[in-house]
Amino acid sequence: MNYIFYFLIVVSIIAGAINGKLTDVVNAILSGAELSVKVAFSLIGIMAFWLGMMKIAEKSGLIEIIAKIIKPVTKHLFKEVPEQSPAIGDIAMNFSANALGLANAATPIGIKAMEELQKINKDKKSASNAMCMLLAMNTAGFQLIPATVIAVLIGIGYKNPTEIIAPTLLVTSITFFSAITLAKIFEKFWKPQKGDK
């Protein structure tokens, strides 16, 4: 990836020099660098806020309540996971973080959920159906509130950053349910190994 960016920068500078627009290229690089710092700082604030909210939700037992609310759904989607497994709580937290548009916060929680799912996975050399389902759900990235995108839009000075909520909800809902459906369909083609049920 670094080579691609390096190539693009070099080509831009050469093209700017050939067309007599080298000053514009340099100004664009400097203004882009300044904007990236502003966006990064706006992201730090919103990420710190939502990560703090997730920690409070975890400590206050709200995550357990969310886990109980979505238990009928998780029970159906993750049939091979025992009800008392810590993976269920991790999956609930992961889903909550994704729903709030906190992909960076959802990643470590998702990894923890995968580790718990691996503990109960009978075939350690391949992913279980539950692991594939969690991966599909994460890849689809259902979002109620795209907090990170809103933070980026605020950082670049967009006038109405919340107008992204409805289209994001529509698109991520479609991808989320499509991912679950496909994971369930492909489950039927998976041949259990000797150690599996």
Note the pLDDT tens digit of each residue in 30-84: 888 887 887 777 777 766 776 777 778 778 877 677 767 877 787 788 888 887 7
Kindly state the percentage of the chain with pLDDT values over 90: 9
Q: How far apart are CA 54 and CA 150, in angstroms?
A: 18
Domain boundaries, the chain: 40-187
The amino acid that residue 25 corresponds to is V
Q: How far apart are CA 40 and CA 28, in angstroms?
A: 18
Place of tokens 């709580």: 89
Q: What is the residue-wise DSSP string for 58-112?
A: HHHTHHHHHHHHTHHHHHHHTTTS-TT-HHHHHHHHHHHHHHTT-HHHHHHHHHH
Give the model's pLDDT for residue 162. Answer: 84
Compute the average pLDDT of residues 158-184. 89
What's this model's pTM, rounded to 2 decimal places? 0.64
